[in-house]
Amino acid sequence: MRAAICPGSFDPPTNGHLNIIERGIRIFDRLIVAVAVNMSKEPIFSAEERAAMLREIFANHPKIEIDFFDGLLAEYARKRKIHRILRGIRTMSDYEYEFQMALANKTLYPELEIIFLMTEGRYTHLSSSIIKDVVRHGGRAAEMIHPLVEQQLRAKLCRKEWA
């Protein structure tokens, strides 16, 4: 069985993330979407909240598993006995960062293969930071995030439910 891990902070999950996951499941037999628990930045959502949103969004996709990881991705992959990592790339700066991370992970776990999947053009501009700013200032984010995510993000950032 060809399985891969698609790791990320997913804070919040964007339509770009969802697109990479949906395209990834067409490439692999099973995809583990691994939510990073301890991030260097302060997340808006807890790891449990991020995972819950992803589980609800992908509830009808039996080949997608939502899990958590804390610490090194290479160690998580080794523990899960997975040899493939799927990463989305939006820009050249993403590529430079991901390339360095891929080399580090390959050093830690030589059997690991990292697959980069280019984000579709309509999602290239999306970032969690931009989306948070749009929502925080009352803008509509319907083209950027799933309606469930928008509702929960508004509740967090605006302290009121989005109608």
Catalytic member of 50, 87, 90, 146: 90
Q: Give, in order, the Cα–Cα distances in Å from 112 to each of 4, 39, 82.
A: 10, 22, 8
Amino acid at the residue 123:
Y
Selected catalytic residue, list 50, 87, 128, 154: 128
Give the number of other CB atoms < 10 A from CB of residue 9: 18
Cα distance between residue 121 and residue 137, in whole Å: 25
- Catalytic residue at 129? no
For the question of residue 41 being annotated catalytic, the response is yes
Q: How far apart are CA 8 and CA 30, in angstroms?
A: 17
Round to whole Å and give the CA distance between 107 and 99: 12
Yes or no: say if 37 and 47 are a contact pair by the CB < 8 Å rule: yes
Whether 16 and 26 have beta carbons less than 8 Å apart is answered as: no
Catalytic, out of 41, 137, 159, 160: 41
Could you give the residue numbers annotated as active site? 17, 41, 90, 128
